A = this chain, B = another copy of it.
Amino acid sequence: NGLRIAVIPGDGIGQEVVPEGLRVLRAAAKRFSIDITFDMFDFSSWDYFEKHGTMLPSDWKEQIGGHDAIYFGAVGWPEKIADHVSLWGSLLLFRREFDQYVNLRPVKLMPGVPSPLAGRKPGEIDFYVVRENTEGEYSSVGGRMFAGTEREIVMQETVMTRVGVDRILHFAFDFANRTKRKHLTSATKSNGIAITMPYWDERVEEVSKSYPEVAWDKYHIDILTAHFVLNPQRFNVVVASNLFGDILSDLGPACTGTIGIAPSGNINPTGEFPSLFEPVHGSAPDIAGQGIANPVGQIWAGAMMLEHLGYPEAGAAIVRAIEDVLAQPAFRTRDLGGEADTETCGKAIAGVLEAA
């Protein structure tokens, strides 16, 4: 009874980086004697959609719901299928149906990765974005009236529930409580979004009482994005609604130069359903098929997955192997100014684990 992982490479460069992720996971499994089985799935992709007219088979929940985790590449191919069809038909559906209510993303300045910010050193920027992943601004409630006329009106609800807001806040405060700095920042916009956001603030105030050791502050999202650029060293754990978390967890990695290599965990903390681990980057159709994509995000996502599944040492070893390899120009892919291809980079990282 080892680990069973459902692997979904998906679209575009997902097909190229997932094999490297698996290579590294196998190396880590060997080194740390973890028994892992990988089951491959071809759905959640344009190819599957073209054949079947849907993103997923009707029994997708039975097929992957019993696995310990989902290892996901990327989905979407905007020229072939509208984003909201492919995404709401797979990735966003998984998040909701598997109640992966936490999206966790590290923001970390890595060695060998140039940051666009002036004068920042590795170690100086190192925090997490905790994003609510199932409700809020990403609702499916709303519609259009007087369609096609001058009076046309389109409305969409932001929906916040006590259950949904409190559980993400508890996760974030608890997570912050386990860090050294014990600090949390909440993203809000209660001065402009004057119905839902004051509620978010109210619950932060309330939930914070259960974590007296965590110091916290809050910023409106506009000035918070400014602080990501101006004072990124200030942050430890940042908790945010679905939309704000989406923005901050792209902006944070952009500030550390790691947008192409950052990972993302879509976590169901109760363990009732499998959690899903993926790189932050998308399917990148423009460079797909050339074998030049950077596999580090996919590999780092594997590290998060092992950590989540109870193998923190194996996860940490993968992150260290990534840092080792990134420090060597010969193994950097084009996006980082190097010339290595996807496989060369992946093999180098696996090699560090095998050699150790």
Residues of A within 8 A of B (CB): 76, 83-84, 87-88, 92, 115-119, 137-138, 140, 142-144, 146, 149-163, 189-196, 198-199, 221-223, 225-227, 229-230, 242-243, 246-247, 249-251, 253-255, 259
Q: Top 10 nearest A-B pairs by Cβ distance?
A: A226-B254, A152-B162, A83-B191, A222-B250, A156-B195, A142-B195, A118-B118, A84-B194, A225-B251, A154-B199
Per assembly, the copies of the chain total: 2
Q: Which B residues are in CB contact (< 8 Å) with A137?
A: 158, 192-193
Report whether B198 and A84 are in contact in the complex, using a CB–CB cutoff of 8 Å. yes
Distance of A229 Cα from B117 Cα, bound (Å):
8
Distance of A8 Cα from B345 Cα, bound (Å):
60
Q: Which B residues are in CB contact (< 8 Å) with A156?
A: 157-158, 193, 195-196
Distance of A137 Cα from B194 Cα, bound (Å):
10
Report whether A158 and B160 are in contact in the complex, using a CB–CB cutoff of 8 Å. no
- From known contacts A83-B191, A159-B155, A254-B226, infer whether A196 and B142 are also in contact, taking CB-CB under 8 Å: yes
- From known contacts A151-B162, A157-B157, infer whether A194 and B140 are also in contact, taking CB-CB under 8 Å: yes
Q: Which B residues are in CB contact (< 8 Å) with A152?
A: 161-162
Q: How far is the CB of A141 from chain B (nearest CB, A)?
A: 8
Q: Which B residues are in CB contact (< 8 Å) with A247?
A: 221-222, 225, 247
Distance of A331 Cα from B189 Cα, bound (Å):
34
Q: How far is the CB of A15 from chain B (nearest CB, A)?
A: 20
9 contacts between A and B (CB under 8 A): A83-B190, A117-B117, A118-B118, A156-B195, A158-B158, A221-B246, A222-B251, A223-B250, A230-B254
Q: Which B residues are in CB contact (< 8 Å) with A249?
A: 222
